[in-house]
């Protein structure tokens, strides 16, 4: 079948993971603190702050029609209330380059990292954070809104409770299902490195509420209010921009007797955050794998299952299940992330083929899916795991910053050109 006209075919990145030297952010402090649990610091990353035109031209040449990337709050507002118009000018250049090349920009305003100063004020449990976030969003959209047709306020607003709930019931210390590059090293997160980072950020370990690790009712409330406030700011500053947010959605597959537990987990992981989507134009669906659910909770992967570099099951069919469940929100859907970490690029191609067959089946059944973004464009910084996981369609030699296109990139690019599998 042919995909719908103007279907968005793209790849995705996040500023902190590719730009390099995001020194005003909370994560820069966390990863560089003595005793840090991070495998390595992000450093120059993929140097995309400098090489963005090269990367955009490469994506266009491959056949993609869109590019999803994030604007870094810590660059735009390095100090509370003090905005960098040099950073705004940089992101204007990125957006204009996208338009020149015919790539539809899809911008994320918050992708896990926050300014250092926000941590001093209480981070993602502070009741003032929604207002501060909305002020940043209003500034960005006032300056750049006409260049931004699609905007996500917050990436994976539900990620902290998802990480907690996806731990297998038989081993509560195992976080191998986490879809963002967090494995058992998370158990050491609150050790010496975290304490040192908290001191540098002007707070205590107990009061250091970075976005990715703030799993509390107060934190969830702040995130939801931040989305509402940011959506309002986007509407006021750039009414023609389509706005939504993205959720990490695991395909919860109930085993016999596990149906009630699966429904409860869905409500905790996703349903609670769908309560603030009234007024959104779309929902970003981000899926990497499935979770098998019995009456007592998440179960380990089946014996002998193929695993990714991050330790969770290779299951491209999970995307279809996630889309079908997310369709109940009543919003148009965009697959804003779907991908696999592997050193075998042929498995990446197979993953995309099977995932997209699932998207086709959803479309055939009338589900409104408007785009597919593979995560990620480049092999990049995968948070606590550093540069070991390889999600990218394009390899990066970090000593030279030379890009090397993988066969999987050509495969997906050709699908984009045809608008069909």
Q: Which residues are designated catalytic?
A: 156
Cα gap 404→342, rounded to integer Å: 16
Query: Tokens standing for 378?
Result: 């480049």
Q: Which helix (H) or strand (E) holds 30?
A: helix 26-32
- Distance of alpha carbon 211 from its chain centroid, rounded? 12
Closest CA to 14 of 39, 49, 43: 49
Cα gap 15→72, rounded to integer Å: 6
Query: Tokens standing for 203?
Result: 């707070």
Between strands 394-397 and 402-405, the pairing is: antiparallel
Quick count: other Cβ atoms within 10 Å of Cβ 93? 12
- Distance of alpha carbon 6 from its chain centroid, rounded? 23
Neighbour-count burial of 296, counting CB atoms closer than 10 A to its CB (0-12 exposed, 13-18 middle, 19+ buried): exposed
Cis-peptide, bond into residue 339, ω within 30° of zero? no
- Give the torsion sign (CA, 210, 212, 215, 221): positive
End-to-end CA distance of the chain: 7
Q: Exposure pattern of 140-149 as b/e (b: 16+ CB <10 Å)?
A: bbebbbebbb
Q: DSSP 3-state assignment of 343? A: coil
Phi-psi region at 404: left, alpha or beta (left = phi > 0; alpha = psi -120 to 50): beta
Query: Using alpha carbons only, how large is the chain's radius of gyration in Å?
Result: 20
Cα gap 318→322, rounded to integer Å: 6
Contact assessment for residue 403 and residue 395, using Cβ atoms and an 8 Å cutoff: yes
Cα gap 70→243, rounded to integer Å: 14
Neighbour-count burial of 330, counting CB atoms closer than 10 A to its CB (0-12 exposed, 13-18 middle, 19+ buried): exposed
- Distance of alpha carbon 384 from its chain centroid, rounded? 15
Contact assessment for residue 220 and residue 74, using Cβ atoms and an 8 Å cutoff: no
Strands lying side by side in the sheet with 251-254 = 251-254, 290-294, 297-298
């Amino acid at each position: 079948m042919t995909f719908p006209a103007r279907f968005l075919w793209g790849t995705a990145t996040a500023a902190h993971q590719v730009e390099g030297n995001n020194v005003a952010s909370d994560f820069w402090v966390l990863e560089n603190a003595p005793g840090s649990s991070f495998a390595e610091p992000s450093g120059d990353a993929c140097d995309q702050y400098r090489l963005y035109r090269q990367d955009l031209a490469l994506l266009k040449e491959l056949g993609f029609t869109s590019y999803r990337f994030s604007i870094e709050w810590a660059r735009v507002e390095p100090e509370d209330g003090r905005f960098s118009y040099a950073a705004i000018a940089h992101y204007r250049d990125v957006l204009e380059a996208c338009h020149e090349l015919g790539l539809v920009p899809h911008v994320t305003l918050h992708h896990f990292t926050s300014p250092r100063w926000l941590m001093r004020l209480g981070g993602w449990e502070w009741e003032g954070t929604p207002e501060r976030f909305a002020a940043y969003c209003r500034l960005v959209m006032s300056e750049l809104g006409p260049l931004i047709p699609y905007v996500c306020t917050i990436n994976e607003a539900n990620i902290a409770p998802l990480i907690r709930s996806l731990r297998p019931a038989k081993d509560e210390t195992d976080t191998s299902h986490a879809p963002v590059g967090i494995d058992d090293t998370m158990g050491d997160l609150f050790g010496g490195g975290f304490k040192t980072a908290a001191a540098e950020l002007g707070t205590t370990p107990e009061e250091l509420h970075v976005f990715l690790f703030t799993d509390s009712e107060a934190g969830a409330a702040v995130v939801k209010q931040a989305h509402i406030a940011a959506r309002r700011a986007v509407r006021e500053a750039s009414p023609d921009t389509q706005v939504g947010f993205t959720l990490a959605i695991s395909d919860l597959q109930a085993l016999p007797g596990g149906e009630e537990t699966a429904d409860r987990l869905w409500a905790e992981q996703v349903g609670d955050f769908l309560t603030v989507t009234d007024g959104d134009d779309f929902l970003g669906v981000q899926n990497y794998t499935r979770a098998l659910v019995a009456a007592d909770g998440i179960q380990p992967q089946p014996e002998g299952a193929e695993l990714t570099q991050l330790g969770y099951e290779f299951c491209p069919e999970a995307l279809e299940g996630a889309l079908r469940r997310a369709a109940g929100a009543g919003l148009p859907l965009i697959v804003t992330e779907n991908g696999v970490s592997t050193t075998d690029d042929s498995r990446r191609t197979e993953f995309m083929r099977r995932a997209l067959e699932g998207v086709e089946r959803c479309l055939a059944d009338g589900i409104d899916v408007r785009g597919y973004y593979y995560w990620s464009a480049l092999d990049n910084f995968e948070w606590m795991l550093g540069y070991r996981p390889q999600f990218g369609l394009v390899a990066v030699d970090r000593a030279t910053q030379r890009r090397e296109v993988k066969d999987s990139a050509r495969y997906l690019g050709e699908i984009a050109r045809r608008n069909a599998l």
